[in-house]
C-alpha cells in the first residue's frame, strides 16, 4: 500500500507539472514548413562535398597495403588493432569541435522546427502514458482500500466475538460445570433404567421363565423325559453379554454354559444379536451396536 501511494503521488505530481507548464510549450508546428530553393541547393552542395571527401578517404584506404597478421595469436592481434582504432577515434572526437550543419538560417529554422515537433510528440506520448498509468494506479488503490476496509471489519467482528467468548468462559465456574455433568449423568442413568425396565417387560412377556415352560411340558410328556437342568433366563444371558462387552471390550466373548438354553443361543445368533468366536464355536459375544 505504501509503495502504491508513493507511486500514485509521483505520477500525479508529474501530470500536474506538465499541465502547469502546458501554456509555456510552443504551439503546434506547421508540418508544411517550406525552405527556399537557395537553402535547398546549399544543403545539397554541402552533402555532395561531404560525399566527395568520403570517396577520397575510401580510395586512400584501398591504396594502403593490408597489414599481414602474425601466424600465432591472431585473435589477440585483432583485438589490439581494435583497441588502437577506438583510442584514436576517441581522441579525435575529444579534440574535434562540433560543426553546425549549415550557416543558412532557413535550414537551421526548418531543422529546429522538425526537432521540436519530434520532441513535442514524444512528450505527448509520455503524458498519455502517465495519465493511463495514473488511472490504473487509482483503480488499484481503490481496490486495495476496499480490501483493507473489509479486513478491518472482519478483524473487528472477530475481536468482538473473542471478547464475548472470553466473557462467557469467565462467567462459567467449575461448580456450574460439575452440576451440568451431574445432571447429564442423572439423565443418562434414568434413561438406562427405562431401557432396562422396557427390556425386562419385553422379555417377561415374550420369553417367560423356563420353569413355567418345564411345568407345562411335564404335564404333557411326563417328568422322566425332561433333563433336570436349571436354565438361565434370557435376561440374565443378555445382561452377561452386555456387561462383558462394556467391562472388557478387548475380549468381549463369553463361554456358552450348559445352563444356557440352546434355543435361546440359536435365536440370538440367527437374528444377529450375538456372534460366535471365529475359532471357538463355544464362545459368543454381543454385537457391537454401540460403535
Is residue 148, in this structure, part of any structural domain at all?
Answer: no
Residues 12 and 133 both lie in one domain: yes
Is residue 243, in this structure, part of any structural domain at all?
Answer: yes
46-61 pLDDT per residue, tens? 788 888 888 888 888 7
Residues 218 and 122 both lie in one domain: no
pLDDT higher than 80, residue 168: no
* CA 48 – CA 101 distance, rounded (Å): 13
Residues 12 and 130 both lie in one domain: yes
Is residue 288, in this structure, part of any structural domain at all?
Answer: yes
Is residue 33, in this structure, part of any structural domain at all?
Answer: no
Instruction: Give the least confident one: 36-40, 164-168, 278-282.
Output: 36-40
Determine the pLDDT at residue 275.
92
**In this structure, are residues 274 and 268 in contact, taking their beta carbons and an 8 Å threshold?**
yes
Higher pLDDT: 64 or 154? It is 154
**Which domain, by its residues, includes 241?**
210-291
The grid coordinates of residue 155 equal: 478483524
Mean pLDDT along residues 257-266 = 88
User: For the chain, what is the domain count?
Assistant: 2
Residues 117 and 230 both lie in one domain: no
Last residue of a domain, which of 97, 115, 140? 140
Instruction: Give the least confident one: 9-13, 29-33, 233-237, 240-244.
Output: 29-33
Mean pLDDT along residues 178-201 = 86
Predicted TM-score of the model (pTM): 0.36
Sequence-ordered list of residues with C-beta below 8 angstroms from that of 46, at least 6 positions apart, any chain: 101, 102
Determine the pLDDT at residue 66.
63
Amino acid at each position: 500500500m505504501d509503495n502504491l501511494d508513493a507511486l500514485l503521488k509521483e505520477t500525479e505530481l508529474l501530470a500536474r507539472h506538465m499541465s502547469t507548464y502546458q501554456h509555456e510549450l510552443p504551439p503546434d508546428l506547421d508540418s508544411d514548413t517550406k525552405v527556399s530553393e537557395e537553402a535547398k541547393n546549399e544543403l545539397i552542395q554541402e552533402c555532395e562535398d561531404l560525399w566527395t571527401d568520403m570517396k577520397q578517404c575510401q580510395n586512400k584506404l584501398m591504396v594502403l597495403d593490408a597489414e599481414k597478421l602474425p601466424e600465432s595469436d591472431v585473435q589477440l592481434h585483432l583485438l589490439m588493432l581494435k583497441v588502437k582504432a577506438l583510442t584514436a577515434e576517441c581522441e579525435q572526437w575529444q579534440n574535434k569541435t562540433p560543426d553546425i550543419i549549415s550557416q543558412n538560417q532557413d535550414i537551421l529554422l526548418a531543422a529546429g522546427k522538425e526537432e521540436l515537433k519530434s520532441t513535442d510528440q514524444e512528450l505527448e506520448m509520455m503524458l498519455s502514458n502517465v495519465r493511463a498509468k495514473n488511472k490504473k494506479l487509482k483503480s488499484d488503490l481503490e481496490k486495495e482500500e476496499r480490501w483493507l476496509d473489509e479486513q478491518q471489519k472482519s478483524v473487528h467482528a472477530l475481536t468482538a466475538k473473542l471478547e464475548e467468548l472470553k466473557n462467557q468462559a469467565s462467567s462459567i465456574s467449575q461448580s456450574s460445570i460439575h452440576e451440568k455433568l451431574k445432571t447429564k449423568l442423572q439423565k443418562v442413568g434414568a434413561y438406562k433404567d427405562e431401557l432396562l425396565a422396557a427390556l425386562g417387560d419385553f422379555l417377561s412377556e415374550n420369553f417367560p421363565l423356563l420353569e413355567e415352560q418345564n411345568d407345562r411340558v411335564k404335564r404333557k410328556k411326563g417328568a422322566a423325559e425332561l433333563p433336570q437342568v436349571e436354565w438361565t433366563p434370557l435376561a440374565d444371558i443378555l445382561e452377561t453379554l452386555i456387561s462383558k462387552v462394556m467391562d472388557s471390550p478387548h475380549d468381549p466373548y463369553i463361554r456358552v454354559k450348559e445352563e444356557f438354553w440352546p434355543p435361546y443361543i440359536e435365536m440370538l445368533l440367527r437374528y444377529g444379536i450375538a456372534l460366535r468366536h471365529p475359532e471357538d464355536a463355544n464362545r459368543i459375544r454381543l454385537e457391537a451396536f454401540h460403535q
